[in-house]
Amino acid sequence: MVGLHTIGILVCLLIMGLIVGLGPYSSPDMFVPDKGNLWYYWQLAEPTFWTRFSAWSLYALHQLGLWGLIAWAQIRRPRYTSALHPVNWLAIGFNLLFIGLHILQTRVFYDGLAQDTSVLSSQFSVIFLLVFVLMMENSRRGLFFGHKIDFVERPVGFLRRYHGYYFSWAVVYTFWFHPIEDNIGHLLGTFYTLLLLLQGSLFFTRAHRDRVWTLLLEVFVLAHGAMVAYLTISGPHWQMFLFGFLTLFVITQMHGIGLGRTARWGIVITYAACVAYTYWGRGWGWLEVLRIPLVDFGLVYLFAAIAWLPVLWAALRKRATQ
């Protein structure tokens, strides 16, 4: 499995090198001045029919093609193996084609889907993806310090069978939401998206389920989120993203890779020392490290509660008829 992941990461790095080599992709005169927190800066001031059509048509073809491959694989139900199935090769080739097309589309037309959609749609598509991962991994690593929460298990069977469709949408939509750019924030985001596209191409292989690999994909958002916050938001807000995702790692994610008690306590003590050093003298300011975990855990319980509603409704109807 290390071989597949290593080759995939190297290919992603080569693509990133190509993106940097073909840059720059824009100049400040192409955009309107930044309008605040919910404004996405990297969109044309004067879009045309063709800038919109190029982004939306290629996005639709990319999305529908991947959904078709996922459906085909689920119908055929190949066994989980160490080698790639033909459908995996098709998915990898298909993604590489549309990665190249997106680079070309940015060079020629520039605009992504951000011209017509809210930046929140891209952000929450990935947030929900990460929340669904927390739910699916609950039975293996628990939700709180290795402890499984039975209430969360209700929708997990459905998620395990059909998560590929949502995950594919979240990743492909985010990929086409942004134009290709060569600044550090965009480069980190694009690299992360490439890794997720790789993961989405490995279905029905053991590489897809490798717990170290999937943990890497989960925690990469830590580096991306903190770096984007550092570059785009004035003040120390990046610390909330850095320590918020680290808190989630300590509470939940590190308990699924077979670490011994000594290693886990070492991580906890190091984490606590870093938080204390960073927030020393700032009163209750350290509580901001809990915001991201509280939002994620809140969404986990919300989605689980929604999944329980049909069961509750059936029980109430049964009682009413007795």
- pLDDT digits 0-9 by tens, 200-246: 999 999 999 999 999 999 999 999 989 888 887 777 889 999 999 99
Q: Which residue has the tokens 């060079």?
A: 107
Candidates 14, 33, 32; CA nearest to 22 is: 14
Backbone angles phi, psi at 144, to 5 degrees: -125, 105
How do residues 243-281 score in pLDDT, each as one tens digit? Answer: 999 999 999 999 989 899 999 999 999 999 999 999 999
Cβ atoms < 10 Å from Cβ of 182: 16
pLDDT tens across 20-53, in order? 999 999 999 999 988 877 889 999 999 999 999 9
d(CA 140, CA 147): 9
What's the whole-number mean pLDDT along residues 296-306?
95
**Rounded distance, CA 43 to CA 230, Å?**
21
- pTM of the predicted model over 0.85: yes
